[in-house]
Structure 1
Amino acid sequence: MGLSFIHHPKRMKKRIPQKMEIPNDVVMEEILARLPAKSLMRFKCVSKLWSSLISSRYFCNRFLTVPTRPLPTRPRPRIYMCLQDNNDFRNNVTLSLAPDTTNPNCFVVDHNLTSPRVGGYVLQNLRGFMCYPFFRKPTFYNPATRQLVTIPAAFKSQNIIPAPPEEEAFKSYNYYFGYDSVIDQYYVLWSTGVYVKHLGETKSEHLVFVLKAGGEGSWKKAYPTSPDYLPHIPAKRGMCIDGVIYYMGWTGTYSLGLVSFHIRSGDFKMIQVPGRDGDEMFLRTMKNVSLIEYGGKVTIIDLTNLREKGMLDLWAVEDAGNKKSFTRKTMVLQSSQLHLVINNKTIYTMKGTTDNNKVFFIPEDMFSPFHILCYDLRSNDMTKIEIKGVPDHWFNIDRSTINVMLMDQSEDLVSLET
């Protein structure tokens, strides 16, 4: 009996897919940098490598600049609302407001991201940090990372100008915050001024704090040498543009100067603020005047005529061969939006600015339902925004004891290394 052979087709070797790893630079540059900060905070737990990568200063800077396309996963900027109870600072809270998906003109409090006992009168927004004094100490808070850093009060560190009795003098001080990208360094400038009434004389003093890891560092005295510098009484709220800190200061009863402090050189400069058509009232009050960045330039915004005429004035600083001067621009609300501010029983004050030329107007009285006005200076467009979810007890507190500040900023992962 012969043997028969069955011929089987030749078996194909099974291919084993090769394991391919995504290069770290692609993960960092093209994937992680496009995700929201909330996700990145969770991903720091994946491994020590990821934690180190996400926490690195290079990645934080990349996160600020990487475009969201073609992966538009980055959410719209949030509004952060700081409520300060002057009678009890333990009630202070920072609310994170997320856009309402069903209403473009409404924001809702995200209670999962509420920061109790954090926040106060916010003086500046700086690279994702809210900068404010808490019990007279300069404080940095990043709502995206939840990092809170407090440094020592300036007046406890140096022998400052002695304070005469209140009936003989007026004294004021303020903190200003800055960052220089060239040296990648944060600074705090403390300015104080005393006006001695019977002498008609103003004295000033300035201290600088170089912020190091974990808020470490020390206060050092700064010495203005510029011939255009004048002693002054510092006003609240400053700003920093390209490594230069700006703030306003009273040089006399009716005279106001714009002070600049160059972080790297330590130089002070000052230019006098012009009056509005010779009206000294412009220089008598700071209630309707504030400092903002507009078109990349430090700009004084005057809201005096907003409620009656629907107009506001912008005074931008122009630098022509280091000879600085102001140029004036008047903004007029669209006729269809005048009703938001004119013939309206609600009185608004400006209590917040943004990095993209928007300002916030907040009602002087807290009432429910609560709303704000957002004014886009670039498009000359004012929008009424409803805020839902503000804790009810804030509407029962004496409004005169509450400070409300708003800011609209993109998320930022920058941290002060500890």
Structure 2
Amino acid sequence: MDKKQDQSEENDLFSNIPLELMIEILLKLPAKSIANLIFVSKHWSSIILDKDFTELYLTRSSTLPRLLFQVSVSRLKMQFLHSSSLEGPSCDHHRVAVTLNHDLEYRFSPPVRGLICCLNGTKVLIGNPSTGEFVTLPKLKTKKRFIDRVSFFGYDPVNDLYKVLCITQLYVHFIDDIRIIRTEEHQVFTLGAKQEWRMIECKHHHYLADPEKKGICMDGVVYYVARINHKLLSLISFNLRSEEFNDDASKQEWSKASLLVPCWTDLVGDQSFRFKGTLSTGELTFAPCFITDPFFFICYDLKEKSARKVVIEGLGDDYVNVSLDHVESPMFLPKVCLSDDE
């Protein structure tokens, strides 16, 4: 019996399984396993690559959000991604294989529907930490030698598009010993569309005083903090559908929660913490300001006024940055064509 006959009989076997049952089986599998199953048969592949299946999987995995850790090992000049469940981080924990240039240190965006964006200089990547797949985007266009570049990653739910916004900025002069920065270029890359960066106009002059600060994408809008002059901080919004900026986001209606952070000496000892964000459960998260081994963070329940310590084993004593409410995605990234010099 030759290989073609074997494959034909195998495909017939899979085709006899009811579609609803096949989908239910796939929905229970890790995204990494699903990525491998695409090579099993054309029938499996057609299901896995279907957008409706991706949406079903994302809906299911959003009920079980995970933590995504960026670990930078300076002595090896390498970066890794780790994913853990929030309920049992030490027992449900795995390292994600990421192929990155070891000579470059990337800034990672917060995950959006299971995907992340990585930036170093003019080099930008989009990746799926769940499957380990990363694609390199074309080099950023620049007219001048810029000091810094900042990227934001988001999803437009109306047009079902993932976009990267990149801002390049230049330090130009000093006022009262304060370094003044001017943004010069704003570019957008749409994943799966024309494979090029597009220059867009920004009518609201602003700059990012701290490029390490992350933005957040909500309902098709990216929000980030910037300065509109050399003193005043403002919340800037970028609409991913219209590709327009606005500097009045802070004037919109926002909820506010105030708290007096209690003493956690009995729980974690003498530590200083940074606020990292809010979980889907409504809990506030605080991570140590300094590297700890094992890595841990605090979840604080505003309603119950109670704190719990979440310990993550296996990360070592290297630099760790954590992203909250990461969801697994089986999405395969579209191919990106690069020029010969990239």
Q: Identity percentage over the alignment?
A: 28
1:208 aligns with 2:181: no
Aligned residues: 311
Task: Give the corresponding residue for 1:283.
Answer: none
> Structure 1 residue aligned with 2:116, among 130, 147, 152?
130
Pairwise CA distance, 1:43:
3.5
1:339 to 259, 264, 284: 264
Cα shift readout 1:153-185 (whole Å, capped 9, x = no counterpart): 42xx1314x65xxxxxxx543100111122111
State the match for 2:54 in structure 1: 60
Instruction: Specify the alignment match of 1:92 in structure 2.
Output: 79
Question: Which amino acid letter does the alignment assign opposite residue 82 of structure 2?
Answer: L
5 Å-filtered alignment, 1:100-115, equals: 107-108=90-91, 110=93, 113-115=95-97
Tell me if the contact between 1:234 and 1:249 (Cα under 8 Å) persists in the aligned partners.
Answer: yes
Q: Give the secondary-structure state (helix, strand or coil) at the position aligned to 1:107.
A: coil
The Cα of 1:199 is off from its aligned counterpart by: 7.1
1:282-301 to structure 2, matched below 5 A, reads none
Q: What is the rounded CA distance, in whole Å, between the counterparts of 2:60 and 2:85 in structure 1?
A: 22
Change (3 A) 1:125 1:234: farther
Verify: 1:233 aligned to 2:217, yes or no.
no
CA spacing shift, 1:54–1:407, aligned 2, 3 Å: same
- Contact kept, 8 Å, 2:98 with 2:133, in 1: the verdict is no
Instruction: Describe the superposition over 1:344-388 as per-residue Cα deviations: whole angstroms up to 9, x where unpaired.
Output: 521222456655545543223333343222345676553201222
* Corresponding residue for residue 245 of structure 1: 222
CA–CA distance in 1 between the matches of 2:300 and 2:139? 35
Q: Which amino acid aligns with 1:126?
A: V
Residue number among 178, 191, 195 corresponding to 2:167 in the alignment: 191
Deviations 1:90-133 (A, max 9, x none): x211123357xxxx66524745x442565854222111013232
Counterpart AA for 1:385: V
Tell me how far apart the structure 2 counterparts of residues 107 and 134 of structure 1 sit (CA, whole Å): 31
Q: CA deviation at 1:208?
A: 1.1
- Determine helix, strand or coil for the equivalent of 2:108: coil
Higher relative contact order (CA 8 A, sep 6+): 2
Alignment of 1:356-367 (within 5 A): 357-367=282-292
Query: Which residue number in structure 1 is paired with residue 132 of structure 2?
Result: 146
Q: Please state how far the C-alpha of 1:21 moved relative to its aligned partner.
A: 4.6
Q: Using the alignment, how far apart are the partners of 2:197 and 2:221 within structure 1?
A: 18
- What is the distance in 1 between the residues matched to 2:37 and 2:299? 34
1:47 is matched with 41
Gap regions ≥5 residues in structure 2: 1-14, 336-342
On the 8 A contact 1:137/1:153 being kept in 2, the answer is yes
Report the CA distance shift for 1:48/1:355 in structure 2 as closer, same or farther (over 3 A): farther
2:252 match: 324
TM-score (norm 2): 0.75
The alpha-carbon distance between structure 1 residues 199 and 121, as it changes in their structure 2 partners (threshold 3 A), is: closer
Unaligned 5+ runs, structure 1: 1-19, 69-73, 164-170, 273-316, 318-322
Distance of 1:408 and 1:107 partners within structure 2: 17
CA 1:210/1:45 → structure 2, altered by over 3 Å: closer, same or farther?
Answer: closer
Give the 3 Å change call, closer, same or farther, for CA 343–148 of structure 1 in structure 2: closer
How far off its partner does 1:270 sit? 0.4
Question: 1:80 pairs with 54, 62, 68, which one?
Answer: 68
Task: Give the structure with higher Rg (CA).
Answer: 1
Say whether 1:182 aligns with 2:158. Answer: yes
Aligned with residue 322 of structure 2, among 387, 400, 405: 405
Looking at structure 1, the residues matched to 106 and 181 of structure 2 have their Cα atoms a distance apart, in angstroms, of: 29
- CA 1:343–1:21 in 2, change beyond 3 Å: closer, same or farther? closer
TM-score (norm 1): 0.63
Letter of the structure 2 residue corresponding to residue 255 of structure 1: L
Q: Say yes or no: does 1:416 pair with 2:333.
A: yes
Counterparts of 2:143 and 2:305, CA distance in 1: 48
1:271 is the counterpart of 2:248 = yes
**Distance apart, 1:264 and its partner CA:** 1.9
Match 1:259 to one of 220, 225, 236: 236
SS in 1 for 2:52: helix
C-alpha contact (below 8 Å) 1:109/1:389 kept by paired residues:
no
Q: What's the secondary structure of 1:58's corresponding residue? A: helix
Note the alpha carbon deviations across 1:191-224, whole angstroms, 9 max, x for none: 13335335796532311111227xx711111112
| Residues 111, 323 of structure 2: 8 Å contact kept | no
Distance in 1 separating the partners of 2:134 and 2:272: 34
Using the TM superposition, give the Cα deviation of residue 414 of structure 1 relative to its aligned residue in structure 2, in angstroms. Answer: 2.1
Give 1:52 shift.
2.0
Shift of 1:389: 2.1
- Asked if the contact 2:110/2:323 (under 8 Å) is kept, the reply is no
Taking the aligned partners of 1:253 and 1:339, their CA distance within structure 2 comes to: 37
- Whether contact under 8 Å (1:96, 1:110) holds in the other structure is yes
Q: What is the identity, as a one-letter code, of the residue corresponding to 1:145? A: T
